[in-house]
Amino acid sequence: MRLSVQVRRVAIRFAYVGLRTYWFLLRPRIVGVKCVLTNGEDVLLVRHTYGSRAWDLPGGTVRRREAPRDAARREMHEELGRLIDDWTPLGELFVRSNHHDDNLHLFLTQMSDRRVEIDLVELAEADWFPRQALPADLSRYVRPILERVRTA
């Protein structure tokens, strides 16, 4: 029996509270990915159903013994329903947030179409925005990451 989206969203929010407690107590180092998906001059941004509801770049955590590029591919398939193999690395970004250190591997891909099928448990919404007209409520690392696209 599959639980409803609403029940799974509540579960993921509780799990996120547990993660934040773990991060606060142990201050771990986490390896993650952030992915810049573009279509022409537009960039795809997402809003999560947990944590900050600011617009953010899609991404996620790299699993043990998983290459960052493979994590980018897996996360985009899980969250957006897209299998993407053509990634351009944009380097790494080291950040401290929510009481843990993040080593974010950054990737870029150009999409030929805007089709996405979001995972409604993790994502509240996804939308394409012109890079020159991004929404005001952005996650704090979106602009610095997008600056790397201009120089890539």
Would you give per-residue pLDDT tens digits along the chain (152 residues)? 567 877 777 777 767 677 666 556 666 677 889 999 999 999 999 999 887 889 999 999 999 999 999 999 999 999 999 999 999 999 999 887 765 678 899 999 999 999 999 988 889 999 999 999 999 999 989 999 999 997 55
pTM of the model: 0.83
Own/partner pairs, 91-96, CB within 8 angstroms, 24+ separation: 91/148, 93/34, 93/141, 93/144, 93/145, 95/141
Give all domains of the chain, ordered by start, each with its CATH number: 5-151 (3.90.79.10)
pLDDT given for residue 44 in this prediction: 98
pLDDT given for residue 103 in this prediction: 85
Tokens describing residue 25: 């107590």
